[in-house]
A = this chain, B = another copy of it.
């Protein structure tokens, strides 16, 4: 047996870091004005705030403008293939549980080609954080519609308007049984930081949809909701334990009732609890924006505790070792019924 193997590095004592430390030496290659910049900024700031050592971080992505993210983080990073980041991340976290693993993905990468892996990541509840950059378009391939594009959108591949119904990432994640689901906005740094912090602290898959502006191919696609002048009236922030109130003057509230959510006076608003056994209230909220006159919920839709796959896997290994003793090659090979030839 080889015992001359170089050991893995043992627990390090990291120096405290500032935001800049998380910037890699690579030139950022996004278009000027792209919403991706502010997401990168928020993540770097958050990690500095939380003081996560760089070497314990791993960013995994697929392909797309958004998926270039790992190159710009001075951490471990894997820019993989289109749509498959969840599969890589699942293994990385399971094989190396001490890492904090983040996925950067786009609406095309994560919900078109990668929809299946996203489903299985969410249901398995791998302890990774997902940043879904939703710009309702394929950026890197120069402007085709995506699964989140609104029906009717005219793009290069839908010159007469898309006939696809859009998928709602939040509802999809709920349907997949995700344990943490949130939504935030590229231009709303404060909100993004708060949501990302909650995501970072969640144990299990934290799924965060980020409204992200593609200045080149779908500029302003969220403006009706997120434009600064209307944002407070057009969004409602889901803050655990807080009433669902919104509006510039916090003059409106949301009441969830009989499997419907409706706009009410602030005093009547439901106090938000994303950790109920049932995800139904979150589901109701996820549908709300489609009702005329209702705000778009942002913030934390869902946050529950549930066993994670990566931990489950490792526990089984420990249990097997505890029960059968650490596997010995000799025993393995020399198992079964044998006979001798002299």
Chain B residues with CB under 8 Å of A287's CB are 278-280
Q: Binary interface profile of A, 153-197, with partner B (CB < 8 Å = 1, else 0)?
A: 000000011011111100111111100000000000000000000
> Is A59 interfacial (CB 8 A cutoff)?
no
Chain B residues with CB under 8 Å of A151's CB are 307
Number of identical protomers = 2
Give the complex CA separation of A309 and B284 in angstroms. Answer: 26
> Is A260 interfacial (CB 8 A cutoff)?
yes
Q: Find A278's partner among B164, B284, B312 (CB 8 Å cutoff).
A: B284
Q: Find A306's partner among B120, B125, B165, B257 (CB 8 Å cutoff).
A: B165
Chain B residues with CB under 8 Å of A316's CB are 160-161, 163
Give the complex CA separation of A284 and B165 in angstroms. Answer: 23
Q: Find A284's partner among B113, B125, B259, B290 (CB 8 Å cutoff).
A: B259
Instruction: Find out whether the CB atom of A165 lies under 8 angstroms from the CB atom of B147.
Output: no
A selection of 14 A-B contacts at a CB cut-off of 8 Å is A119-B172, A123-B147, A123-B164, A123-B165, A125-B165, A160-B319, A160-B320, A161-B316, A165-B307, A259-B278, A280-B280, A280-B284, A280-B287, A283-B284
A residues sitting closer than 8 Å to B (CB atoms) are 112-116, 119-120, 123-125, 147, 151, 160-161, 163-168, 171-177, 256-260, 277-281, 283-284, 287, 290-291, 306-307, 309, 312-313, 316, 319-320
New A-B contacts (11) at CB < 8 Å, excluding given A258-B258, A279-B283: A115-B119, A124-B165, A160-B320, A163-B312, A163-B313, A167-B176, A168-B177, A171-B174, A172-B175, A175-B175, A277-B291
